[in-house]
Amino acid sequence: QLIVEPKGSTYHDPRTGAQVDSGTLVDIHSPRLSVSTQTQAEQGYGPLAAGSVNGSFRELALWTIDDNDKDEFASLNLRREPFADRPNAPNRFSSYKYGDPYTPLPRAYKGDPIVIRTINVSPTIDTLHFQGSRFPLEPRYVDGSLKPEGNLLDTIHYGVSEKYTLIVNAEGQGSASARPGDYLYFNGLDRRLTSGAWGLIRVMAGKPATTSPDFVQPLPDNPVPSLTTALPKKTGGNPPALLSPGNPCPTGAPARSFNVSAVDLPLGNGLAKAAYVPTAIAADAKAGTVKPEPLVLHAAKGECVTVNFTNDRTPLPLTPTLPMAGFAVSKLDRTPDSSGVNVGFTKQQYVTPGNSRTYVYYVDSDKIGTASIADFSTSGSMKKGLYGALVVAPAGAQFTDPVTGVAKDVGSQVDVQVPGGQPYRDFTVLLADNDARMGQDFMPYPTNASKGLSGINYRFAPVGDGANSFSWYTTGDIPTPVLRAYAGDPVQVHAIVAPGSEQAHVFNMGGQSWMQDPNLRNSNSVTAQGFGPWETIEAHLLGGAGGETNQTGDFFYGDLRRPFTQIGVWGWLRSLPSAAGASCTTIRPLPGRSCG
């Protein structure tokens, strides 16, 4: 890569401070300039991105490289840490067990901005995911206080030679990675991750000894760390026991809590062989009398969220301390002790069967949208169904069941009432696949996706390829989610490609459109949007249900990659007739609106 830095910059070795003119890990010393208006910030007036980085920063030039035609090798800057070399699944990311990875490891002190200049060198559409870090895709678009105004993301998808500049750990973003600790990043395609395309970002509270491999020179714009830090060392054993989950929440933050269990499921639950479920239904889910959907939690900006988590999976006969289970939520602010991943020198995050622990998060922004939930403790657990989402609403929001009207903050379909704002229907759909063959770049080229390996919310509705494939008159009722609203109801659809998936997909809602970034001025209006594993889409439908002309009827939604549509990765948005004074049908009206 040839990287153009802000005017007046000099480039330095992070460890020695010596000036350099090349390297993948470099400190960029840039002058801090006065930027006082949105226009100056958005026109690139001097700083890299005035709302996020004004002055010096740490920089990683990162190549995601997949150059083996049988998908056996994936790397970051030609370095890899394959799972096969770290066979202890709960601790494969742990530096206590195996030491730091060979892959690029940016080091920073608290408050140091980190800029990732990334390019994809791959025959496939890959994703790059940062667990615990987040960034705006358009950091130069700022609000009146010169803070980034777009959605906060933690994942991008990109194809061969596509490049992005991503800013993490920066001012104005409130990222959890601003807290000292170790943070995981990786290629989001599960086979790429497994073959070794992952690494760490290390944020330190103080300066280690100059002889330590973690020592870096302070950036000139940031205060010299007043603390000294002696980082732990590899022990070859498990991470130390956790004493407390930490508390990132400010005093007086409204509290919300969830009781969640990880369970194994009997046959007959679609794609899922395991799931996160509310603890109240764990026994029924294990018995097969309840068929759960992926866990979807709802919280509002400003809330302190506590998850009381229980590993209720069936112990292995010969190793009753396995399978372990954890609960890792992306994007939300938390201390490293609630990261949910045994990564770097993080303390024990997982629990053995029959045991419980607590995780604590702070919802510091309503630009988070959808945050992924996943289990990193056991090989294949995400593919089995241990994934979900946490959806963030504006401050003070209340969540209710669309059918009964009772309070409900768990589930893929809720109604949301916002103080002083417009109520809306809220739907969450999780597309999952376990089909690594589609799109492979070696013969024979597969043309059909494998039935039973892909779906939406654990369900699939195979239809074939006929002209009437998606008609109710052909299919009858379908097992995939039907999203119901009255014509014109405000609707938000949160779509995510589930952790553990292997493919990029194209999400479409026929007859509906949305702004690509609902928080960004003049964002593109789209009817289809690409995304990959771990990535989310926030579709706030223009005009509400039925589009800008409030049409009634059933509208297709799902994956536009035809092989996946054929095997069932689709559903309906049902826009119901609305008439003032008419009686309601299957769902209650939103406050202040009519139904029919």
Indicate the SS3 state at residue 136.
strand
First CA to last CA across the chain, in angstroms? 58
Q: Please, which residues have CB within 8 angstroms of residue 319's CB and are 6 or more apart in sequence?
A: none
Model pLDDT, residue 42: 62
Give the residue extent of every domain in the chain: 10-204, 255-396, 430-576
Q: Structure tokens of 391?
A: 């959806």
CA distance 79 to 196: 8
Query: What are all long-range contacts of 38-42, with beta carbons under 8 Å and residues at least 24 apart?
Result: 38/142, 38/143, 38/144, 38/146, 41/140, 41/142, 41/146, 42/140, 42/141, 42/142
β pairing state of 255-264 and 304-311: parallel
270 and 380 Cβ atoms separated by less than 8 Å: no
CA distance 364 to 176: 10
Model pLDDT, residue 45: 60
CATH among 2.60.40.420, 3.40.50.140, 3.30.70.270, 3.40.50.300 for 430-576: 2.60.40.420
Q: Please, which residues have CB within 8 angstroms of residue 189's CB and are 6 or more apart in sequence?
A: 74, 124, 126, 127, 501, 502, 503, 532, 533
Model pLDDT, residue 69: 57
Do 10-204 and 430-576 have matching folds?
A: yes
Amino acid identity at 352: T
CA distance 129 to 371: 12
**pLDDT tens string 133-168:** 999 998 888 887 778 889 999 999 999 999 999 998
Model pLDDT, residue 188: 97
Model pLDDT, residue 226: 80
What are the counts of helices (DSSP H) followed by strands (DSSP E) for the chain? 7, 34
CA distance 35 to 50: 7
Q: Structure tokens of 251?
A: 């005093």
What distances in angstroms separate CA 495 from CA 21, 529, 537, one per listed residue?
A: 42, 10, 5
Average pLDDT of the chain to the nearest whole number: 92
What is the DSSP code (8-state) at residue 541?
Answer: B
Report residue 110: phi and psi, to 5°.
-50, 130
**Residue closest to 509 by CA, chosen among 495, 519, 496:** 495
Q: Structure tokens of 527?
A: 């009817």
CA distance 39 to 142: 9
| pTM of this structure | 0.96
CATH among 2.60.40.420, 3.40.50.2000, 3.40.50.10800, 3.30.1330.30 for 255-396: 2.60.40.420
**Residue closest to 397 by CA, chosen among 591, 549, 239, 540:** 591
Q: What is the mean pLDDT of each run of 10 residues along the chain (596 residues)?
A: 90 98 96 70 68 89 82 88 97 98 96 94 93 90 82 96 89 63 96 96 93 95 83 96 95 98 94 98 97 98 98 96 98 95 98 98 95 97 98 98 97 98 98 86 78 94 76 82 96 98 96 95 94 98 96 95 92 86 80 76
CA distance 245 to 293: 27
- Provide the CATH number for the domain formed by 10-204 in this structure: 2.60.40.420
Report residue 104: phi and psi, to 5°.
-55, 135
Model pLDDT, residue 44: 60
**pLDDT tens string 287-322:** 999 999 999 999 999 999 999 999 999 999 999 999
**pLDDT tens string 420-452:** 999 999 999 999 999 888 877 677 777 888 888
CA neighbours closer than 13 Å in the CB half-sphere of residue 58: 27
What distances in angstroms separate CA 93 from CA 86, 123, 156, 262, 427, one per listed residue?
A: 8, 26, 22, 21, 33
